[in-house]
Amino acid sequence: MCFSKSKSHVQYPNDITSTTRTRMTITNAQAGEQEPSLLHRSLIERPQKVISGSGIYLTLTDGSRILDGCCGAAVSVIGHGNKQVQDAIMQQYSSIEYVHTMAYTTSSAEELADALTELSKPFGLTKAYFVCSGSEAVDAAMKLARQYHVENGQPQRKRFVARRQAYHGNTIGAMSVSSNLPRKIPYDGVLTLDNVSFVSPAYAYRGQRGAETEEQYAARLVQELDDEFQQVGPETVIAFVAETVGGATAACITPPKGYFEGIRKVCDRYGILLILDEIMCGSGRTGSYFAFEREGDVRPDLVTLGKGLGGGYAPIAGVLISEKVVQVLKSGSASFVHGHTYQAHPACCAAGLAVQQIIKRDDLVAKCLSRGALLESRLRSALGDAKYVGEIRGRGLFLGIEFVQDRASKQPFKPAIKFASWMQEAAHSRGLAVYPGSGTVDGVNGDHVIVAPPLTITEEEVEEIVRLLKMAYDAVEGELAV
C-alpha cells in the first residue's frame, strides 16, 4: 500500500489513534491551555483527563462518570481502585523497590511465577519470564524460539509465519509478525523484519465458505498453513505465531473447532514451535484462564500474557515457557540470551500477584463465563438485527461487534465515514467507554467496537452497558439516515 499526501499531512489507513471524533477529546484551543509537553497520540487533540476510578467507573475532571465497558484495552480485569492491590504495591515498595535480576530476585517475582505455572504446568508450561509490556513479551518469545533452534542444532531456522489481521505489538519483532496496517505501514521495510510470511486469519464471518462446515473450514486453514510451510521450506521456520482469540485488529474472532489442534499437529510434523499470543484474550478474559484451554489438545510451546496479568495496576507482561524449550536451553548455554533492566520488577510483580490472587479467590474466571454469556445474549437481543450490525462475536467478556453498510453482502462502510469512531463518540457522550477499531476486514476497510468490561461486572452493570450502547447505536443510525 502506498502513502497518499493531503496538504501537509501523510494519510495512513484508519486507526483508533487518528480517528477519534471531537467530543471524545479536547483541542488545545478549546481547553484554553498552552501546548502540552506530553506527546499524546494525537498532536491536535488531547484526551480527557481522568481524576479517579472506582470499580467499573472512571471519573473525569468535569465530574462526569464513564462506565468502563472496555477496560481501556481489555486491561482492568478487576476494575479500578482495588485497595488490596494498592496495599500489595506499597508493601513491596516499603521493603525493596528494585533489584537487578542478573544478581538478585524477589519474593513477589518468584510467587507470581509459581502462581502462573501452577495453572500452566498441566499444559507443559513450566517457567515464567516477566517484562513490562506485551510487545516486549512477544519479542522475548520470538528470541526464545530462535535460541531453542540454535541450541538444538538447527540454526538454519530463521523464518516466522503469522496471520493476517493480527496485532502482536509495536516493537520491531512484534510489529514484524503483526499485520495491523495502520500501525505498521510507516515503518514497513525500514523497522520490520523481512523473514515473516502470513496466512489467513481464523475469521469465519468473512472467510468461511457457504457450503463449508466449521470442521471443514478449520481443515482448510490448517492446510493453508501446511502449504505455507512447504512454500518457504519447513526446515527454515522457527515458529507459527497466532492470537488464540483475535484481538483489537479484527475484533474477537474465535477459531473454528479443531483449528488449533490441527495447527499443533502440523507444527509438530516439521519441528516448528507454536507461539500463542494471549496478551489480550488470556488471564481469564474469555472464560477460561488460558484461551487455548477450550481448543482441545493444543499444548503451545510459548504463551504470552499481559494486560489482565497486572490488571492495569502496574506495567507487566510475561512469557510462559514449555519444558521442551527449557530443557534444550538448560542442556546448552543454560541461559536466555536476552534481558531488560526492569524485567521482573518487584512492584510490578507484586501488583500482578495480587491481581491473580483476587481472580482466584473471587472465582472471576467462572464469573466471566456466566457474565459473558449474559452480555452476549443481551447484545444479540438489542443489536443482533440492527441495520448496520454484521456480526456479534467473541468469548466470555471479550466481545466484538462488526459493523457493515449492507448485511446481505457484508459490504463495509467506506473508511471516510469512520463508523467505529462515530460509535465510540456516541457511546462516550452517553457515559460508556468502548474500544473502537477500523480496518477490520483488510487493514483499510471495516469497523468494529470491542466490549470487554472488568470480570467483576454485575448483572445490573451488564444491562447498563447494553442500554447505553443501544442508545449510542440508535443515534448513529439515525444520523446516517439524515
Number of neighbouring beta carbons within 10 Å of residue 357: 16
Q: How far apart are CA 34 and CA 369, in angstroms?
A: 47
Section 85-106 average pLDDT:
98
CB-CB contact of 181 with 444 (8 Å):
yes
Looking at residue 481, its pLDDT comes to 84
User: 407 and 390 in contact (C-beta within 8 Å)?
Assistant: yes
Give the fold, CATH level 3, of 83-361: Aspartate Aminotransferase; domain 2 (3.40.640)
Q: Rounded to whole angstroms, how far apart are CA atoms 20 and 16?
A: 6
pLDDT reading at 109 higher than 50: yes
Is 3.90.1150.10 the CATH classification of the domain at 4-80+364-481?
yes
- Residues 115-137 have pLDDT tens digits of 999 999 999 999 999 999 999 99
Per-residue pLDDT band at 34 (split at 50, 70, 90): confident
What pLDDT shows up at residue 45? 87
Q: pLDDT tens across 380-435, in order?
A: 999 999 999 999 999 999 999 999 999 999 999 999 999 999 999 999 999 999 99
Domain-wise residue ranges, the chain: 4-80+364-481, 83-361
Q: Are 251 and 418 in contact (CB under 8 A)?
A: no
Query: Which conformational region is residue 119 in: left (phi greater than 0), alpha (psi within -120 to 50 degrees), or beta?
Result: alpha
> Hunting for cell 459473558 — which residue is that?
372
State the pLDDT confidence band at 20, using cuts at 50, 70 and 90. Answer: very low
Nearest to 390 by CA among 304, 473, 466, 285: 473
